[in-house]
Amino acid sequence: MARERPLRILHCFRSPVGGIFRHVRDLVEEHSKAGHHIGILCDSSTGGEHEDRLFDDIRPYLSLGLTRVPIRRSVSPSDIATMWDTYKKIKSLRPDVLHGHGAKGGVLARLAGSALRVNRYRVARLYTAHGGSLHYSRSSFTGQFVLRMERLQEYFTDALVFICEYERDTYARKVGKPRTKTKLIYNGIGEREFEPIHTRSDAVHFIYVGMLRDLKGPDLFVDAFAKTERLLGRPLSALMIGDGPDRDRYREMMIERGLGKRIGMLPAMRIHEAFAMAQNLVVPSRAEAMPYIVLEGLGAGKTIIASRVGGIPEVLGKDSPALVEPGNSDDLARVMAEALSTPGWHARTMPSHAAVKAVFSSTVMARDVLKLYHELVDPAAGAMSGGVNIS
């Protein structure tokens, strides 16, 4: 990674959970090791013990510190006070780069960055959607509002970063052809994550790992599990690993269907611990951008069964037999049954380690993101007038 002048980089996002948090942690570590000064600004009201441990892992790389303020998921009058408080905190950190992730993070980074520019401070403003607002439909009133706001915010954006072709194409279709600089940079995982994780002797047949909310499809997983048992004519076992607002509802669903003893539930944990519990990982999402869980599963040598949504086909292959129709538990059960009953199914359907590693490496991701930062901050190999002080 090129060692140009050290940059002061601040990542802004709302909730420190899931793929966005994972993405930012990788960038933080890689860019800090390359000699840059990194900070995080995110919500103070979400996350639990698992996320606290993840923050502890990256704290040594956060020379600009960890700043947490209350950031609501929905738009509310309190956002005005949050924006003012956030602006003051960002101003004190004197960033060269403000990189917003997700809808709320994108608003904070771009509005705060634009306010700094009004005060004659030069800062690069970037936005990565990570799905987020792009999941909304143009046919709904809310969707129209959200997508028009995305269009408006292009005027305050120096670069849009897309994490997969699907996200780039969806943006163009729903928001419009971008009127600012864009870059396609795939999510990636680290070298140490391309090591097989062997299953335990007491492994279950299937695991679901992720947020417990309908968008991610835990209800489809439960429904498909029951149908897979009927297709194979024998009882199976599974685990749902994660936290989320609908946890109790999924537990009640399993009990009502008599599956309470065959599907267990565990809180969020480190991914290598989760992957040791099964060979078959099911990703039944109704919508995604580029989920890390698929990359992590492939790196660990797991068998992935996933919905044909977002950038997942770009990883597994557009014609992969492991892809199922989103929202269709019958199709999901069919593939789950095939994975268990067909000899050599994993070898025939999963992409090779080498193929995944060539494209979806965190080193490549961090290198390309940093190159983009420098293009914006130092457009002519010099500085983007970064020496102007905040008054």
pLDDT at 18: 85
Query: Domain limits of the chain?
Result: 6-187+360-381, 190-354
Mean pLDDT along residues 25-33: 96
Q: Is the pLDDT assigned to residue 386 strictly greater than 80?
A: no
pLDDT at 77: 63
Nearest CA to 43 among 93, 105, 133, 103? 105
- Per DSSP, the three-state class of 51 is helix
| Level-2 CATH architecture, domain 6-187+360-381 | 3-Layer(aba) Sandwich (3.40)
Local structure of residue 189 (DSSP, 8 states): B
pLDDT digits (tens, 9 = 90+) for 41-85: 999 988 888 899 999 999 999 999 999 988 877 666 666 777 788
Q: Which fold has domain 190-354?
A: Rossmann fold (3.40.50)
Q: Is the pLDDT assigned to residue 296 strictly greater than 50?
A: yes
pLDDT category of residue 17 using cuts at 50, 70 and 90: confident
Q: Secondary structure of the chain: what % helix, strand, coil (to 5)?
A: 45, 15, 35
pLDDT digits (tens, 9 = 90+) for 340-384: 999 999 999 999 989 999 999 999 999 999 999 999 998 764 444
Alpha carbon of 208 to those of 1, 37, 257, 267: distances in Å? 35, 36, 18, 12
Answer whether 236's CB lies under 8 Å from 228's CB.
yes
- Say how far apart CA 71 and CA 82 lie, in whole Å: 7
pLDDT digits (tens, 9 = 90+) for 149-197: 999 999 999 999 999 999 999 999 999 999 999 999 999 999 999 999 9
> Is 190-354 in the same CATH topology as 6-187+360-381?
yes
The model's pTM is 0.87
